[in-house]
Chain A
Amino acid sequence: MVAEKITIEPVTRIEGHAKVTIHMNDNGSVDHAYFHVNEFRGFEKFCEGRMVFEMPQITPRICGICPVSHHLAAAKAGDLVMGVKPPRTASLLRELMHMGQIIQSHGMHFFELAGPDLILGFDADPAIRNVVGLIGADPALTLRAVELRKYGQDIIYQVGGRRIHPNFAVPGGVNRAMTEEKRDHMLIGLDQAIETTQIGIQLIKDWVDANIEDIEKFAVFHTGYFGLVTPENGLELYDGNIRLVDKDGEELENFKSQNYLDIISEHVEDWSYLKFPYYKKMGWPEGVYRVGPLGRLNVVEKIDTPLAQEEFEVYRQINDGKPVYHTLYYHYARLIETLFAIERARELLEDPDLMGNDILNRKYDFKGESVGVIEAPRGTLFHHYWAKPNGQLERVNLIVSTGHNNWAMSEAVDSVAKTYVKGPQVQEGMLNRVEAAIRAYDPCLSCSTHAIGQMPIKIDVMDAKGKVTQTLKRD
Chain B
Amino acid sequence: MSILDIDERILQVVELVDLRATPITDLKEPDVDGVTVGILEGGINNTYNEEVALRMRERCKILVALGDCAVFGGVPAMRNFCGADAALKRAYVDAESNDSEGFIPSNPELAKMTRVRAVSEVVPVDLHIPGCPPDADIIFYALVELAQGRIPEIKDEKLSWQ
A interface residues with partner B (beta carbon < 8 Å): 8-10, 12-15, 17, 19, 21, 34, 36, 38-48, 58, 61, 64-65, 108, 112-113, 116, 126-127, 129-132, 135, 139, 142-143, 146-147, 149-150, 153, 161-165, 260-261, 264-273, 275, 277, 284, 384, 395, 397, 399, 432, 450, 452-458, 473-475
Contacts and interface: CB of A to CB of B under 8 A. Distances in A.
Interface in B67-111: 69, 74-76, 78-79, 81-82, 84, 86-92, 95-99, 101-103, 105-107, 109-111
Q: Which of A48, A58, A164, A277 has the most CB of B within 10 A?
A: A164
Given A10-B28, A64-B1, A474-B27, A42 B84 contact: yes
B119 to A, nearest CB: 10
B120 interface: no
A38 B132 contact: no
Interface of B: 1-2, 4-5, 7-8, 10-11, 14, 19, 21-32, 41-43, 45-46, 48-49, 52, 69, 74-76, 78-79, 81-82, 84, 86-92, 95-99, 101-103, 105-107, 109-111, 113, 132-133, 136, 162
A431 to B, nearest CB: 10
A266 B87 contact: no
Nearest to A147: B8
A16 to B, nearest CB: 9
Nearest to B105: A270
A113 B26 CA distance: 10
A386 to B, nearest CB: 9
A161 B28 CA distance: 35
Given A13-B26, A42-B88, A44-B91, 5 more contacts: A42-B79, A46-B79, A147-B7, A271-B107, A275-B91
Contacts of B1: 15, 64-65, 454
Nearest to A46: B78
A12 B24 contact: yes
Contacts of A65: 1
A150 B8 contact: yes
Contact of A432 (B25, B26, B101, B107): B26
Contacts of B31: 475
Nearest to B93: A268
Contacts of A113: 24
B109 A34 contact: yes
Q: Which of A147, A275, A455 has the most CB of B within 10 A?
A: A275
Given A108-B4, A146-B10, A272 B110 contact: yes
Given A146-B7, A397-B96, A61 B75 contact: yes
Contacts of A64: 1-2, 133
A40 B43 CA distance: 12
B107 A270 contact: yes
B91 A45 contact: yes
A42 B87 contact: yes
A9 B23 CA distance: 11
Contacts of A270: 103, 105-107
Contact of A474 (B4, B7, B26, B79): B26
